[in-house]
Amino acid sequence: MRTLFIVPTPIGNLEDMTLRALRVLREVALIAAEDTRTTRVLLNHYEIRTPLTSYHEHNKLTKLDAIFTALETGDVALVSDAGTPGISDPGYELIKEAIAHGYRVEPLPGATALIPALVASGLPTDGFVYIGFLPRKDRALRDFLKELALERRTWISYESPHRLIDTLEILRSVLGERPVCVARELSKVYEEFFRGTVSQALAHYTANPPRGEIVIVIGGHVAEPEAAWDEARVREALFARLDEGEPLSSAAKAIAQKSGWERRTVYALGAERD
Ligand code: SAM
C-alpha cells in the first residue's frame, strides 16, 4: 500500500525545511501542491526534480481521483504554499479520503505558524484553541466571539494585516480588555511580537500600520473571583434554606462551603435566629 505524505514547508525561512521533508519530496513519485509555481521555487532551491501537480481550494474535490490513481503506483507528497497542509490550507478532504480508501497517511512534523506564535506569546500554553481565520463580516465575528467568550484556554487565530485593527476593535468591544500577542512575520527578517492588552495593541498598530503575515494569540476568559461573603449575605443565604425547611446543621454546612466561613460560625447565626 502506497503512502500519502503530509509535508510541511517553511513559513518564511527556507532553513525550516527539515532533512526528512527534503528526502521525502525527492523520493515520492508525485507532489500535490497548492500552487505549483510557489512549490517549484522551493524545489528549485533544493534541486528537487519530482513531478508536480496542483491540488488547491478550487480543484480539491475533482482532483481526488487523479491523486488516488497516482497512489496506485507510487507515493505522493502533499504540500501547501507554506506551513502544514490541512492547517487553514487545502488538505483535509484529501487526507480524509485517503484514510477512507485505506491508504497509509504519514504526517511529517514541521513548520506551521500557530505553534511558534503560541509558545512565544507568553500566554498559557497548557491548553489552547486554534480558531483559524476569524469570520470576516462584522456581525458574524461578533456572534462568533460571543459564543467563545467564556473559553478559558488561549485562543489562536490567523489574520490579515489590513483587518487587524478592525478585528482588535471588535474583540475589545465584545470581550473587553484581554491580554494579546500579535505575532508578525514569524521566522522572517522583520519578525515581531507585540505583547500587551488589546487597547495597547490597537494603539501600537494604529501608530504603526501592520504589514506581512499575522497570528493573533488571545488570552482566554478568566473568571472573576467571587466577591467575599459579608455577614448579611451569609445570613440571607442561610435563612433562605432554613425557611425552606432544611435542618440547620445541613444548611450551615452548605453555606460554610459556599462562603468560606467557618461552619460553627454559620451555625451560630442560624441558632441565634430562633
Ligand atoms: N498552513 C499554514 C500553517 O501551517 O500555519 C497556514 C496557512 S494560512 C493560508 C496563512 C496564514 O497563516 C497567514 O494569513 C497568517 O495568518 C499565518 N501565517 C503564515 N505564515 C506566517 C508567518 N510567517 N508569520 C505569521 N503568520 C503567518
Residue identified by cell 491548553 is 127
What pLDDT, in 10s, does the model give residues 111-128?
A: 999 999 999 999 999 999
Q: Is 55 in the pocket of ligand 1 (CB under 6 A)?
A: no
Ligand 1 contact, 38 CB (< 6 A): no
What sign does the CA torsion over 78, 83, 87, 89 have?
Answer: negative
- Ligand 1, atom 27: closest residue by C-alpha: 213
Condensed to tens digits (0 to 9), the pLDDT of residues 163-179 reads 999 999 999 999 999 99
User: If you measure from the C-alpha of residue 79 to the centroid of ligand 1, how many angstroms do you get, rounded to a whole number?
Assistant: 14
Tell me how far apart the alpha carbons of residues 98 and 119 are, in angstroms, rounded to a whole number: 32
6, 7, 9, 11, best to mutate for ligand 1 pocket (most atoms within 8 Å of CB): 11
Degrees to nearest 5, angle at CA 213 with 208 and 218: 80
Q: What is the pTM of this model?
A: 0.83
pLDDT tens for residues 191-202?
Answer: 999 999 999 999
Please name the residue whose Cα sits nearest to atom 8 of ligand 1: 88
User: What is residue 227's predicted lDDT score, i.e. its pLDDT?
Assistant: 73
pLDDT grade, residue 260 (50/70/90)?
confident
Q: How far apart are CA 67 and CA 106, in angstroms?
A: 15
Return the higher-pLDDT residue of 24 and 254. Answer: 24
Atom of ligand 1 nearest to the CA of 85: 1
Crossing angle of the two packed helices 164-175 and 138-148, in degrees rounded to 10: 50
| DSSP structural state of residue 53 | E
Provide the 8-state DSSP code for 187: T
The CA distances from residue 212 to 83, 140, 226, in Å, are 15, 25, 42
Antiparallel, parallel or unpaired: β 154-159 and 214-218: antiparallel
> How far apart are alpha carbons 50 and 28 in whole angstroms?
7
pLDDT at 206 over 90: yes
- Spatial CB neighbours of 193, under 8 Å, sequence gap ≥ 6: 120, 121, 181, 182, 183, 184
Q: How far, in Å, is the centroid of ligand 1 from the Cα of 160?
A: 9
- Using CA atoms of 22, 24, 30, 34 in order, give the dihedral in degrees to the nearest 10: -60
CB atoms within 10 A of CB 27: 13
